[in-house]
Amino acid sequence: MALTFYPETHYILAMTTVRRDRKLPDDAAAGEVLVTERQRVEPSTTLLRGTRAGHFRVVPIKTAALGVRRLSDIKPEWIIVQEGTLVRAGEPLIQRGQGRGARKFSVPFSSVVARIEADRFILQETPETVEVRALYTGIVSALRSRREVQIEAVGALVQGVWGNGRDTFGTVAEAPEAGLQSLASEEILTTYRGQILLTRLPLTAQTLAVVERQQVAGVIAPAMPAELIPQVLAMNAPVLLTEGFGEHKMSDIVYNLLRDNDGRQVALDAVEPKRFSAQRPELFIPLPGGVSLPPLPERGQGLFPGVQVRIARAPNAGQAGRVVRVFETPQVLETGLRVSGAEIQLGSGKLVFVPIDNLESLGRALDRRR
């Protein structure tokens, strides 16, 4: 039995079927599903509506308002709400008698009755409404629950490495070769406004200032200094990095795929990677499918000759290639580390040895794509 290694996966696929779960935020209560199964949806279609829970308030019962001295004097039938009842500010929770002479203990703010206890009410302040849009052009493939809907879409998929937590949908426009700085002049301003800017060069403080002035809908860039993170997180427009932090240029495989789809609409989901969340930023370009759906991205692909991979770290970071040979015994790197690895043929034809840990499969074997 031969050793099989399983590298990380980083999806870069020219044509695939994706299934994306669109769900209410964790802190939102389940609400209503606004679509039906197999329904076609557009990026702006609202799929789900829920509520973000308000604070709980402890409201002691005031006996004086009811004209009684002791809590024990309150009769159960006077309580006119139940747990779960939605009440508006000023509406009574307890009412003694009828008509104009009725004595009432009213709720001071709009809320939901969460708990009724002998001496107090626990009320939840009226929750805030939260909506979830489709973001992808596709069909509703599954209604998972009142808080989660699955969308199926066909197109090109490029996984990023970092995002600023925003999303959008729009047309990609490539920044000038001279760099984003050259966009400062007013006459170009209207050209890029409302579009998703694609740049091959790393973002800098200077170029970010230009981006903000241009009021672009989003930015796809290879990298930026980590020091700019606070500034980018504060931006309204989504920013997605394809390579990482520092001085990296956009890798050819990503750039070529985006350039091939120049002028198409793109769903840009610039999720900010969180330590304990598996969600990753990505951009998706919806494309017309054929008679049958293209295959889903492959996960957990073993490392075999022919598999297409990307190199995750220097040297050769970002470069894609094909596995030529997998070494079962550790080899010595330039650093002196002895590690398991594979021989990779880069696009230029050059052969390089790369540790398994620094390889990412792209989601499909090259041979199977052909």
Partner 1 sequence: MVFQDENTLYALPETLLPTAGTSLLGADFGSVHTRAVFIDQVDGQYRLVSRAQALTTADAPYGDVTVGLGRALDQMTALIGRGFLAGDRIAIGPGFGAVGAEQFVATASGGRPMRAVLVGLMADVSLASGKHALGSVYTDLADVISIGDLRSEEAKVNAILGKRPDLIFIVGGTDFGAQSTLLALVKTVRLALSLLPAENRPIIVYAGNEAMRETVTILLTDLAEVFPAANVRPALNREYLAGAELELAVAYGRYKAMTGGYRDMPALTRLGVLPTASSYSTIIRYLGGVTSGGVLALDIGSSTVTIAASLAKRGYLNIRPDLGVGHSAVSAVEQIGAERVLRWLTYKSSVSDVLDYVYNKTLKPATIPGTPEELEMEFALAREIAREALESARRGWPRRARIAPFATLIGAGAVLTQALDPGLSAMLLLDAVQPAGIVRLQSDPYAVIPALGAAAYMTPLVAVQVLESGGLLDLGTALCTEGVTRAADAMQIDVKYSDGRTASRIVPNNAFRLIDLPGGQRARITVRLARGLTISGKSRLTLDVDGGAAGIICDTRGRPLRPPADLGKRRDLLVRWFIGARAAVTQAPRAETSGPAPTDEENP
Q: Which residues bind partner 1 (CB under 8 A)?
A: 1-4, 6-9, 27, 53, 55-58, 114-115, 122, 124, 161-162, 225-227, 229, 244-246, 273, 275-276, 278-279, 299-300, 312-315, 317, 333-339, 354-355, 357-358
The smaller minimum CB distance to partner 1, of residues 195 and 358, is found at: 358
The smaller minimum CB distance to partner 1, of residues 17 and 124, is found at: 124
| Nearest-approach distance from CB 78 to partner 1, in angstroms | 23
Angle at 133 (CA atoms; ends 241, 279), nearest 5 degrees: 40
| Nearest-approach distance from CB 25 to partner 1, in angstroms | 12
Which tokens go with 292? 């049958």
| Nearest-approach distance from CB 326 to partner 1, in angstroms | 12
Could you give the residue ranges of the DSSP H alpha helices within the chain?
63-66, 186-192, 205-214, 229-233, 252-260, 366-369
Gap between the Cα atoms of 167 and 188, Å rounded = 24
| Nearest-approach distance from CB 205 to partner 1, in angstroms | 11
Nearest to 144 by CA among 20, 52, 274: 20
Pairing of strands 265-270, 218-224: unpaired
The smaller minimum CB distance to partner 1, of residues 335 and 348, is found at: 335
Gap between the Cα atoms of 227 and 232, Å rounded = 10
| Nearest-approach distance from CB 137 to partner 1, in angstroms | 22
Peptide bond between residue 315 and the one before it cis (omega within 30 degrees of 0): yes
359, 7 contact by CB (below 8 A): yes
- Is residue 79 classed as helix, strand or coil in its secondary structure? strand
DSSP code at position 119:
S
The smaller minimum CB distance to partner 1, of residues 56 and 67, is found at: 56
| Nearest-approach distance from CB 276 to partner 1, in angstroms | 4
DSSP code at position 282:
E
Gap between the Cα atoms of 139 and 136, Å rounded = 9
| Nearest-approach distance from CB 230 to partner 1, in angstroms | 12
The smaller minimum CB distance to partner 1, of residues 37 and 117, is found at: 117
49, 147 contact by CB (below 8 A): no
The smaller minimum CB distance to partner 1, of residues 159 and 214, is found at: 159
The smaller minimum CB distance to partner 1, of residues 273 and 295, is found at: 273
